[in-house]
Amino acid sequence: MTNPPRRIISSGRAPRATSRRSALRGALAAVGGLSLAGCDRLSQNTEFVDVLKSAQDLSHAAHRLVAGRQAMAQEFAPADVAAHFKANGTLVPADAEYHALMQGGFKDWRLQIGGLVEQPAQFSLAELRAMPSRTQITRHDCVEGWSSIGQWKGVQLGHVLGLVRPKAEAKFVVFRCADSMESPAAGRDSTYYESVDLDDAYHVQTVLAYELNGQPLPVNNGAPLRVRIERQLGYKHAKYLMKIELVDSFASIRAGQGGYWEDNGYEWYAGI
């Protein structure tokens, strides 16, 4: 196949360079516009989004491989603690039940633990405070992109699980919270919830925290008790804990994705 010279010099002018250029510009704009609209349409396509979301499993498996199941999150020095630890999400739950507990200084609050356990139990704040504690200075990373360093004190979740003895078929720990995320007008259960696997549940740094920076946990940060899942993003660290449930699957809970934000499209594995 022969290819004619691109430009004929003797003609004395560049052949239709301008129209070529504008055609190219038009084509690029069209391709750009189409692909942008295409990306927005693909974002609405369930099958396509499932393909995109498959990267989550790959990331989780790869992270488990390189960062081991028991790898520790970085801990910091007291000097690194942020002057003001940022609070996000619900700042004061509007729910009446929570307000009643808060008015009473959480004296009537009990953490219920049930589901697939040999010995369901409930613990008051004083009982939890009497258990062995762990204090850690860690960095809280929000899915939005910011970080805050704070000092947490609480009882390791693994210790509490040892008291209730999970059954062999238990695979996930579900955290049920007091705060509704949507207005009661929506007419459906929108209380916050989260779940983690047993790797994270029994991790050394997974604590049920009742203190932040040496003070009782403020309401803005989840009083009276929040969980710290130090190797995952902030939305896994459920605040205003009411109940802990061991399950073999979270598929039948709400939209079945394992958490309030997960039901709204966020990844269940939030280690990235």
Q: How many CB atoms lie within 10 A of CB 199?
A: 13
Q: Which of 11, 18, 19, 40 binds other proteins (CB under 8 A)?
A: 40
Which residue do the tokens 């990235």 mark?
Answer: 272
Q: Does 192 bind other proteins (CB under 8 A)?
A: no
Rounded Cα distance between 113 and 25, Å, is 64
Q: Which of 92, 116, 121, 143 binds other proteins (CB under 8 A)?
A: 143
Per CB under 8 A, which region of 59-67, 107-115, 124-132, 217-225 contacts other proteins?
Answer: 59-67
Per CB under 8 A, which region of 31-39, 103-111, 118-126, 165-173 contacts other proteins?
Answer: 31-39
Task: Check: CB of residue 205 under 8 Å from CB of residue 212.
Answer: no
* Helix intervals (H) in the chain: 17-42, 46-67, 96-103, 125-130, 157-164, 198-201, 260-263
Per CB under 8 A, which region of 157-165, 220-228, 231-239, 243-251 contacts other proteins?
Answer: 231-239
Q: Does 118 bind other proteins (CB under 8 A)?
A: no
Q: Which of 46, 96, 118, 144 binds other proteins (CB under 8 A)?
A: 144
Residues binding other proteins: what is the number (CB under 8 A)? 59
- Who's near 139: CB < 8 A, 6+ residues apart? 73, 74, 76, 147, 148, 149
AA identity, residue 240: Y
- Who's near 26: CB < 8 A, 6+ residues apart? none
Q: Does 181 bind other proteins (CB under 8 A)?
A: no
Coil, strand, or helix at residue 179? strand
Q: Does 77 bind other proteins (CB under 8 A)?
A: no
Q: Which of 95, 98, 109, 148 binds other proteins (CB under 8 A)?
A: 148
Provide the binding-site residues for other proteins, judged by CB under 8 A: 1-6, 9, 12, 20, 24, 35-36, 39-40, 43, 49, 51-56, 58-59, 63, 66-68, 71-76, 80, 82, 84, 86, 139, 141-149, 230-233, 261, 264-267, 271-272
